[in-house]
Structure 1
């Protein structure tokens, strides 16, 4: 994950950094960010969350709390260097800025940066500007931290497809400074004549006439990616097709080594499963890039991040943490968890549950659905939940 921000003078806004003590003298840096009063500022310090944290199971010595409540349909998150958390939504049409004003490890304030947008799932932050992805356009809120009281945006690019099926987007800036933007397949399974569908594209947002470049092909619906801090390679999740049964095909974790690669959709799934409708229209399985890891059928893996902090035990360093949003059409529900995987070069292995409990297995009812994960500067982990409308914070303290 990449924190990209220049330190500018913030008008009427103070920044305070201080250290707080954890159990057994473990210390981590907490951030506070003060904002002036305005009509757009909403106090959420006493907001209530309808959650069942006692059901969440974590590894030993980890703890989960509600970091922010009353964040309806919270989806992708992006964090400024100063600790302001920007949050997109899919169904609400809103974008939020959520802030811990006093550095106590819990959000106090919410700003509605925008409302009435079309599926503004994706948010990214770079050089003091906030970028938001709607279905067919990318918009930019310049110098957002100085304009939280009256945000305005400009259109960066507005010619992405208008299809809403898999039209919501996860976005992020890569190490090359380009904004990466998926364009999902406009269907469950189809072969589109327009090559921009079922891809991940990238856009030079600083160009006077930005034009999307197709980065990789054969990606059905990616709603999460990050870059390995060691290699700079992209890793992305991809949601497998429906209507082939409960257990086929697996959703995928994929590894990109060069632009132009094709990951199989709609001809092959999970590397070895030939599509019954379109498989004969493609080449052999060897023509396509097989997934680095199979993640289970219908689990809907969305946001993922490489853990780079120092709060968690050393074995978590450089692990990928993935939010599995959960199935919608499986006879027995699957997903609704966070998992972690070891990444070494091109290999991903050792997937383990990291956080479980959003799904009541016996009743087959879910009370929450994790969407995205982001790391605060102190090494704690934020998790967005679009069903419960909250952001959780996971911390670790040795005992």
Structure 2
């Protein structure tokens, strides 16, 4: 118990040490490849996290600590959203949201709610419909992520209720029917994923995973994983990174018995949202590749992360891992924390920042490439 209290105090002190800074004047510090530009899309969004786009173009934005859901519209068509509307408040860490058939689905720790016909009722949101309340109530790693898969099922993450433990009913990725029925386990051995998506070319599921803490600055790596089928076990709490047995739970285990990561990420970079780049605005080398928002370390002696990374695939396998957008970390000073990503129909990319309470838009224009 004392150890948990100490870790909570350390995390709180870290959070208080990061000073909030107005985002827009700082964007000139973001480093991008030639031809790319980053601009402010929306602000006044405390704790902005997951973004999904409705059928009519509304951008819905979740939060974690704020307990609210926002709606954004680019009414002027100038690439910048008007002031956000609050469509729900008082929810319990509503991190995960998904959109389907006119309805917004919201995961609030132990329940999933549905807001029907929401884009027609932004100024007068309907009362939510309970989809399910058959989820654990623990708040530790209880901020869930939601997404609809190619099979029409709703996938939801159930993180471990601890840093490291072996407890049935947790460290899972589940799926269920849109009406809440038929909940089943899709994958196991996942400490905490709060970001997953499907490869549009082969429909395999890819997800980020936050590794355990308190094994030092450089162990274990966080992970990008691929689930080519259901029923796989990804190692937690026994094996980390595909080759490192846990000092507490690894005795008698063999890492070869578990599915290794598709790509090892930096240690404690806290990967959250990821997306396949499905647009055509960016140059060819980015199309069909994976972009990952790294939220940034909180208990490492030298901070790491706070950036958007590019993972390049070849023949369905990860072959490189490199920065795409960075600069939210200036030495040891943090002014922003990328959280989630969304590709817009025009091919530009939205990046939410839950520290600055903002969303940025990254676009590409060949005219911006320096002439040689």
What is the TM-score of this pair, normalised by structure 2? 0.91
Determine if contact 1:374/1:382 at 8 Å carries over to the other structure: yes
- Tell me which residue corresponds to 1:202: 175
- Per-residue displacement from partner, 1:93-144 (whole Å, max 9, x unpaired)? 0001111111110001321110000000011101100000110000000010
Of the three residues 329, 349, 363, the one matched with 1:381 is 349
2:138, 2:73 → 1: CA distance?
33
Of the three residues 260, 277, 283, the one matched with 1:313 is 283
Of the three residues 256, 261, 271, the one matched with 1:286 is 256
Moved more, 337-346 or 73-82: 337-346
- Per-residue displacement from partner, 1:287-338 (whole Å, max 9, x unpaired)? 1000000001000010000001011001110010000000000000000000
Determine if contact 2:24/2:39 at 8 Å carries over to the other structure: no
- Tell me which residue corresponds to 2:36: 62
Of the three residues 354, 357, 366, the one matched with 2:324 is 354
- Tell me which residue corresponds to 1:161: 136
Determine if contact 2:93/2:108 at 8 Å carries over to the other structure: yes
Q: SS where residue 321 of structure 2 aligns?
A: strand
- Tell me which residue corresponds to 1:244: 215
* Structure 2: tracts of 5 or more residues without a match: 1-21, 368-372
Q: SS where residue 53 of structure 1 aligns?
A: helix
- Tell me which residue corresponds to 1:116: 90
1:263 aligns with 2:240: no
CA apart distance, 1:82: 2.3
1:98 aligns with 2:68: no
Determine if contact 1:239/1:301 at 8 Å carries over to the other structure: yes
RMSD: 1.1
- Tell me which residue corresponds to 2:19: none
1:368 aligns with 2:343: no
Determine if contact 1:181/1:202 at 8 Å carries over to the other structure: yes
1:191 aligns with 2:166: yes
Determine if contact 1:215/1:259 at 8 Å carries over to the other structure: yes
The number of aligned residues is: 345
1:82, 1:389 → 2: CA distance?
24
Q: SS where residue 222 of structure 1 aligns?
A: coil
Distance 1:262-1:345 versus aligned 2 partners, 3 A rule = farther
Q: SS where residue 54 of structure 1 aligns?
A: helix
Determine if contact 2:55/2:102 at 8 Å carries over to the other structure: no
CA apart distance, 1:227: 0.4
Determine if contact 1:67/1:392 at 8 Å carries over to the other structure: yes
Q: SS where residue 109 of structure 1 aligns?
A: coil
